[in-house]
Structures are given as C-alpha cells and as structure tokens.
C-alpha cells in the first residue's frame, strides 16, 4: 500500500508527454518537440572539458554538503558584480538542480496548513511540492496580492522571468509582494534569458536576505539541464536548515558536475551563452509571428516561453495535435485554472524544428 503522501502527489505532465513522445519516436514517428523547456544546444565545451578533467583528476568523492567553496565563491562574485551586493559563499548552497533547491526552500519554511501564494498560471511543480510539504498552494494575481493574504500566508513563490508566461515581475510589484508576505521564494532560473526589458532579482529588494530565498541554477542559461546543478541563496538560518536536508537526503551535489559548472563564469563560455540568448530571441520572434498569424491571443512574452490562447480546451487541442500532426505541446491547465484554454509552446528547440512544428500547427488549425 502506497503512502497517502505519494498517492496524492501528481506527476509532472511535461515529463509524461516527453515519455509518450519518446515511445512514438521508437515506433518511427517524427515528433517535433515544442513541449519541453530544454535547450537543444550542447553544453559549452569549456564546461564539458572541465568536468572531464575533474573526473580524470579523481574528483569523484563527496564534497562539502554546501558544495565546493570555489563555486560558491564564484557565485558570490557574480552577485557583487551584477547587483553590488555582498553575499558570503556561506549563504549559498549548491543543489541538484534548482528543482531540489525549490524542494529544500519550501520544506525549510512550510508547516502543515501554511498557505503559499503562487501565480496563476505558474510552474506546475510548485503546487505539487507545496502540497507534499503539507502546505496549501493558493493561486493569485501578483497585482492584487493583498486580496489573497490570510492569517496562514507564509510565503509567496515569485518566478521571474516566468514559466509559462515569459513575463518579468517589475520592482513595484516586487515591493508590494515584500510588504505583504513573510517569506519570498524567488525562482530565478530564467534570469539572463530576457529579450526585452530587465529582470529584477529579489536580492535587489532584500540585500540582507532577511525574508528571501533565491533559487537558481545553470540548466537553462548554459544548456546544462542534465547536469543537475543549481543553488539556493538565503540567510544563515535558512541555509543551515537546507544544509541539514542536503546532508541527510543527498550528502552533497555531484562532484565533477560542480567542477564543470565553475567554468560558466569564463569569458569563452560567455560568448557561447550570448549566442544562445540571441538565438532564443530569434526563435521567439518566429513563434510569435506564427501565433499572431493564427489569430491567437498571447501576452507579451519577453523571456523564456509562450502561452497562447487556442480558443478551445487546451488539453484536447494538445492531445489531438500530437496524435494527428506529431507536434508536442503542453496543455495550459496544469499551470493553473487560467490555462484551461491555452497551450504552452516552448521554443527551446532548433529554428528549423520550430518552423516545421509551427507549419504543422498551421495545417492542423486550417483543416
């Protein structure tokens, strides 16, 4: 008999869709992947080389549970350089992707019955992790945050730039959030992938990290999804709580992957990164052109993903599109109730594949 906790836990639909597509591909079907937020680029070579060197040099043992000091030091320098803020390497813990960072952050502060505000729509794993930790996810609109506050409100998860909307939260909205909520978990995994305007980090509102837990990682910006390296930044009380979780559940992040990640700050990697950002922007504009020509409504996506209104049930649309045209997308409903008539299209695939996918969608809707 499975535990109630696990039985109540929902699967992450994007991964189910990916598995279904892989089954179809094994049967010889030509599927276009517009579902997964996984950059098609290879990880930049200096990162791969550094990881291989680490393996050859015997960097195959446990590290400090906080992660290697050098990587935390580089991250501390990044925050000084980009935001002018002093973050000690001891306020940073390296985690198995930002996913684990989110789990640690939520588990550290959420008690049974605590409410956690999340945006409608938002990344589906938030609500699942909150529930797993005994909390109650409350979908909200950040622009009217005060209407969603109750005695049980413990935290808000801000995801800027956001998945699925591709929007950024302004400093003014961030300020409102800070005034109303005890803790802010700021998932900044898409920071850096902004094509118009500017991303505001939570560190700009709370330099001393009194009520902030920043979750970030290398997956999206450096095409390192499979490396499983992320990090959490917060005050010492929270970092010590996260450290206990890490020690007991994972001991430490993967050693050679951390040595690879050290290289993301090198100049030759910056070039590769800037190329990827430019290419994502080119793809974004391509998808936007198609979406507008279909007459679908779409927000103004300045970062990360799209979330167009397909004018019918998004699940039905997405299922039929995959069956009939072999184009994988994600039904919007998993992101929150406002996603019901939407699908999410990811433009992490190549320009050519995206073009082929959008042409197939065109045929599908014109039929």
Residues in contact with ligand PLP by CB under 6 A are 37, 97-99, 123, 159, 163, 187, 189, 217, 219, 225, 230
Q: Closer CB to ligand PLP, residue 249 or residue 312?
A: 249
Report the b/e string of 94-113 with b at 16+ CB within 10 A. bbbbbbbbbbbbbbbbbeee
Nearest residue relative to ligand PLP (C-beta) = 97
Residue 206: CB minimum distance to ligand PLP, A? 20
**Toward ligand PLP, which CB reaches closer, 149 or 338?**
338
CB of 14 or CB of 325, closer to ligand PLP: 14
Strands 115-119 and 153-159: parallel
Least Cβ distance, residue 81 to ligand PLP (angstroms): 22
Name which of 110 and 157 has its Cβ closer to ligand PLP.
157
CB of residue 231 to ligand PLP, shortest distance in Å: 9
> Burial of 19 by CB count in 10 Å (0-12 exposed, 13-18 middle, 19+ buried)?
exposed
Q: How far is the CB of 123 from ligand PLP (least distance, A)?
A: 4
Other CB atoms closer than 10 Å to residue 253's CB: what's the count?
Answer: 28
From CA 144, how far away is CA 152, in angstroms rounded? 17
Q: Find out whether 357 and 36 touch, Cβ atoms under 8 Å.
A: no
Q: How far is the CB of 157 from ligand PLP (least distance, A)?
A: 9
Tell me how far, at minimum, the Cβ of 257 lies from ligand PLP, in Å. 12
CB closer to ligand PLP, 128 vs 325: 128
What minimum distance in Å lies between the beta carbon of 365 and ligand PLP?
Answer: 27
As given in the structure block, the two tokens for residue 221 are 């910006």
CB of 158: closest distance to ligand PLP in angstroms?
11
d(CA 112, CA 228): 29
Question: Partners of 214 in the beta sheet?
Answer: 186, 233
What number of other Cβ atoms are within 10 A of residue 7's Cβ? 8
Element (H, E) at 93: strand 92-95
Closest distance of CB 303 from ligand PLP, Å? 11
> What secondary structure does DSSP assign to 233-264, as a single string?
E--HHHHHHHHHHHHHHTSS--HHHHHHHGGG
Angle between helices 351-366 and 314-325 (to 10 degrees): 110
The helix/strand/coil state of 216 is: strand
Please tell me the distance from the alpha carbon of residue 119 to that of residue 187, in angstroms, as a whole number. 12
Nearer to ligand PLP, 9 or 294 (CB): 9
Q: Which residue lies nearer to ligand PLP by CB, 99 or 349?
A: 99
For ligand PLP, give the closer residue by CB, 107 or 159: 159
Q: CA-to-CA distance for 120 and 164, rounded, in angstroms?
A: 10
Which lies closer to ligand PLP via its Cβ, residue 159 or residue 212?
A: 159
Q: Which residue has the tokens 């960097």?
A: 59
Q: How far is the CB of 20 from ligand PLP (least distance, A)?
A: 18
Phi-psi region of 326 (alpha: psi -120 to 50; beta: other; left: phi over 0): left
How far apart, in whole angstroms, are the C-alpha atoms of residue 220 and residue 281?
Answer: 14
Looking at the Cβ atoms of 126 and 325, the one nearer to ligand PLP is 126
């Amino acid at each position: 008999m499975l535990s109630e906790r696990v039985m109540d836990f929902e699967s992450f639909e994007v991964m189910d869709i990916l598995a279904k597509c892989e089954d179809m591909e094994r049967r010889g079907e030509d599927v276009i992947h517009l579902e997964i937020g996984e950059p098609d680029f290879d990880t930049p070579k200096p990162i791969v080389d550094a990881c291989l060197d680490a393996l050859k040099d015997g960097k195959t043992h446990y590290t400090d549970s906080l992660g290697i000091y050098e990587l935390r030091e580089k991250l501390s320098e990044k925050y000084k350089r980009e935001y002018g803020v002093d973050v000690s390497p001891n306020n940073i813990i390296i985690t198995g992707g930002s996913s684990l960072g989110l789990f640690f952050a939520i588990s550290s502060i959420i008690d049974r019955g605590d409410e956690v505000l999340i945006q409608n729509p938002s990344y589906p794993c938030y609500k699942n992790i909150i529930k797993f930790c005994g909390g109650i996810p409350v979908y909200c609109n950040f622009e009217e945050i005060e209407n969603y506050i109750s005695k049980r409100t413990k935290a808000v998860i801000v995801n800027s730039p956001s998945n699925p909307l591709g929007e950024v939260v302004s400093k003014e909205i961030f300020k409102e959030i800070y005034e109303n909520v005890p803790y802010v978990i700021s998932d900044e995994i898409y920071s850096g992938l902004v094509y118009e305007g500017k991303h505001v980090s939570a560190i700009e509102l709370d330099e001393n990290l009194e009520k902030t837990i920043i979750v970030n990682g290398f997956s999206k910006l450096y095409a390192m999804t499979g490396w499983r390296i992320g990090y959490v930044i917060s005050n010492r009380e929270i970092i010590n709580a996260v450290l206990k979780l890490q020690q007991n559940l994972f001991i430490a992040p993967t050693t050679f992957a951390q040595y690879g990640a050290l290289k993301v700050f090198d100049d030759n990697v910056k070039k590769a990164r800037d190329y990827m950002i430019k290419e994502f922007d080119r793809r974004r504009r391509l998808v936007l052109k198609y979406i507008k020509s279909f007459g679908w409504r779409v927000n103004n996506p300045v970062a990360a993903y799209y979330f167009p209104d397909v004018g019918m049930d998004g699940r039905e649309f997405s299922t039929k599109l995959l069956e009939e045209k072999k184009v994988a997308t994600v039904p919007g409903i998993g992101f929150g109730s406002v996603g019901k008539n939407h699908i999410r299209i990811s433009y992490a695939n190549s320009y050519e594949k995206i073009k082929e996918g959008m042409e197939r969608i065109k045929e599908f809707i014109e039929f």
